[in-house]
Structure 1
């Protein structure tokens, strides 16, 4: 894992988006996995600005959603779906045939995970996986525990995840999570981890020890050969 310390959130977002754009200029037929939340928001804004001047870079881009709050409406303003529609799909003009997404209220969450897993087999591997880091070290809804699930699965949400700012104003709280698993993430050709936000000193220190532990899911990224971790100085 390459560690890049950034002076602020803007530099972190710019360095990461520049890397993604460089890859798209080499090959614009890519599948990118996108996370939600504040950490990657600046990256998506930069990509949206790039689309205005070079829309052809995004004409063949496919997007897959990393995770989703389970049991809520996709139209909830704080769903992952709403975030991605507003921040990524709309600005980059990604049509439905180039978008792979968990439904937020599937009849069978388990069958929905099987469906997404089959979509990955059909359209993968993921070229670039964009990740944020939770305060408890989770990535996606791969939560700390005795063991981690390899593929798409229904996740029991931790108390930390349920305190996320996205859940604060939800009319109905999520009852579970739907997420890509650790193997899905680690099979990506390239991974970028964005770390910003308050109260992450402890999890950053633990991550930088390079000790791989299921209690810190993000630590498994040390097993991948092409990971860049961007750390906003305000998070240290």
Structure 2
């Protein structure tokens, strides 16, 4: 495992952004998956600043959405799509032809899973995926108990996710299901970046990197990925045995 620990969230965000920049310089036409949520926000702002300064060019990259709340779309504030378009795609001037996202409002969600799978399979696999870490250990919407053998799929949300997810919405939302890339997509990606910050993530971080590899802690599977990089601030890393 490649573990990187930083004194602050800002330092962590800058380092993740630089890692993505370095990767894109090596492979400008990479297939990239990036998450919504609060954790990557600092990274995205660093990437936008770098792009505007001419330090990185995303014009040849292709983006795949990680996940979405079933029933929500780009027009819904708090959705994963709304977040990524607002914080990253629009500021970077990413073309629609470069973006492939689940339509979580579609009548046939199984067909949406197949469509996104095909985007990835045509490329071979994801080149780079960035993930946040849920307090329950989920990756995307791969919730505790998920099969490690899934590609894209629809899943019933864990009660922790339903509760924590309310922070993204101005009004109470009924959150029941998610549509998500599966663990197999994550494990087949050429490079994985996992990020976590703050004391609320400390227990999940400890279990993810030092606990048993088990579906009850989905992030633990990354212990077996050959090119996984873990980025934490010191608060998130505090419960790891031997933490510095």
Same fold by TM-score, threshold 0.5 exceeded?
yes
Deviations 1:49-81 (A, max 9, x none): 011021762110111110000012431110111
Q: For residue 215 of structure 2, what is the aligned residue in structure 1?
A: 214
Q: Distance in 2 between matches of 1:111 and 1:60?
A: 27
Question: Which deviates further from its counterpart, 183-192 or 56-65?
Answer: 56-65
Residues 17-28 of structure 1 aligned to structure 2 (within 5 Å)? 17-28=17-28
| Equivalent-residue separation in structure 2 for 1:56 and 1:42 (angstroms) | 17
Post-superposition CA distance 1:175-234 (Å, at most 9, x none): 310000000011100000001134222212212325211100000011111111011113
Q: 3-state DSSP class of the match of 1:193? A: strand
Give the drift of 1:26: 2.1
CA distance in 1, matches of 2:146, 2:79: 28
1:117-151 deviation digits (Å, cap 9, x = unpaired): 11111234211100000000000000001634520
Instruction: Provide the rounded CA distance (Å) in 1 between the counterparts of 2:124 and 2:211.
Output: 28
Aligned pair in 2 of structure 1 residues 206, 56: CA closer, same or farther (>3 Å)?
Answer: closer
Structure-to-structure mapping, 1:62-77, within 5 angstroms: 62-77=62-77
CA distance in 1, matches of 2:174, 2:123: 32
1:234 aligns with 2:226: no
1:141 aligns with 2:141: yes
| Partner Cα separation in structure 2 for residue 146 and residue 134 of structure 1 | 14
Provide the residue aligned with 2:202 in structure 1. 201
Note the C-alpha offset of 1:108: 1.1
Matched positions, count: 236
Between the aligned partners of 2:79 and 2:199, the Cα distance in structure 1 is 22
Residue matched to 1:49? 49
Secondary structure of the structure 1 residue equivalent to 2:40:
helix
Return closer, same or farther for 1:14/1:55 CA change in 2, 3 Å cut-off: closer
User: What's the CA shift for 1:103?
Assistant: 0.7
Q: Which residue is equivalent to 1:88?
A: 88
Residues 64 and 100 of structure 1 are in contact (CA less than 8 Å); yes or no, is this contact kept in structure 2? yes
The structure whose RCO (Cα within 8 Å, separation 6+) is larger is: 1
Q: Is the 8 A contact 2:166 2:173 kept in 1?
A: no
Q: Where do 4+ consecutive residues of structure 1 move more than 6 Å?
A: none
CA distance in 2, matches of 1:101, 1:57: 21
Contact 2:73/2:81 (<8 A) preserved: no
In structure 1, the residue corresponding to 2:198 is in which secondary structure?
A: coil
Gaps of 5+ in 2: 239-244
Alignment pair present for 1:102 and 2:119: no
Q: Distance in 1 between matches of 2:182 and 2:8?
A: 30
Q: Deviations over 1:77-120 (max 9, x none)?
A: 10111001111111221111111100120111111111111111
After TM superposition, give the deviation of residue 33 of structure 1 in Å: 0.3
Give RMSD over aligned pairs: 1.7
Q: Distance in 2 between matches of 1:16 and 1:133?
A: 15
